[in-house]
Amino acid sequence: MQHQFVNYITETRHSLLTGRYAAGDAPVLSRLKSYADRLLARPANFLAGRGITPNVLTLCGLAIGIFAGIVLALGFFFAGGVLILLTGLVDMLDGAVARNGRATTTFGATFDSISDRYVDCIVLLGLGVAGVNWLYVGAALMGSLLVSYVRAKAEGLGIPCTVGIAERSERLLILAIGLLVGFVEPAVLLVAILAQFTALWRIGLLLQRAAS
């Protein structure tokens, strides 16, 4: 089932905006980027043509993510899975709109990144409140935050560090599918394992490159 989880997902907004990786440093699913670009180009152009800005979409994605966390905390797992898919789609669309509409800004990228972290935390905390094993939730949350933090730290130092198999899109899709098919705890555990693996991979690579 893990292979099915990762067959249909795309990279994070940052990857869609830049389209560049250091040699040998691309996320595992970066080969799907061109397909995602083509898939999202038409709806992105439609939204941009009607004055919908990337920041508006980011705000919508944040609102949907917060609602998803509340729904999950109340125990409505299937509905929560649908909402997670929706917030992930909106997150991809805001990057496509920013790119196609040439509307990329430092404010927008920062707002998007912060919103993503809030959604990640709220969704996982909602699952914990609903009764999912807190050890799994905590490991998934820690791994998810570390994946993003290590990349941001590396970029701040001018060091490319985008390797891994559990970027945000992958994690959201794993959770969503688990919620939709009734394998909630296994999905959270899988996210925890893959996120921790990716975080450790990036930490090792960053330390290696920082020391060279």
Nearest to 13 by CA among 45, 37, 31, 35: 37
The pLDDT of residue 105 is 85
Calculate the alpha carbon distances from 5 to 55, 137, 141, 177 in Å.
29, 19, 19, 7
Considering 12-16, 96-100, 108-112, 195-199, the range whose residues carry the highest mean pLDDT is 195-199
Give phi and psi for 154, each to the nearest 5: -65, -45
Confidence of residue 7 (pLDDT cuts 50, 70, 90): very low
Per-residue pLDDT tens over the stretch 152-165: 999 999 998 888 88
The pLDDT of residue 1 is 38
Tell me the catalytic residues: 116
CA torsion sign, 183 to 176 to 106 to 32?
positive
The pLDDT of residue 210 is 93
The pLDDT of residue 119 is 97
Rounded to whole angstroms, how far apart are CA atoms 162 and 53?
Answer: 27
The pLDDT of residue 11 is 37
| One CATH from 3.40.50.620, 3.20.20.70, 3.40.50.920, 1.20.120.1760 for 2-17+26-207 | 1.20.120.1760
Place of tokens 């989880």: 5
194 in Cβ contact with 153 (< 8 Å): no
Considering 8-22, 48-62, 97-111, 127-141, the range whose residues carry the highest mean pLDDT is 127-141
The pLDDT of residue 40 is 81
Give the pair of three-digit tokens for residue 142. 């820690």
Provide the 10 A C-beta neighbour count for residue 172: 26
Rounded to whole angstroms, how far apart are CA atoms 8 and 174?
Answer: 11
| Greater pLDDT, 99 or 131 | 131
Rounded to whole angstroms, how far apart are CA atoms 8 and 36?
Answer: 10
Q: Residue 150: what residue type?
A: V
| Greater pLDDT, 47 or 184 | 184
Task: Give the residue extent of every domain in the chain.
Answer: 2-17+26-207
| Greater pLDDT, 116 or 164 | 116
Per-residue pLDDT tens over the stretch 29-52: 555 666 776 788 888 888 888 888
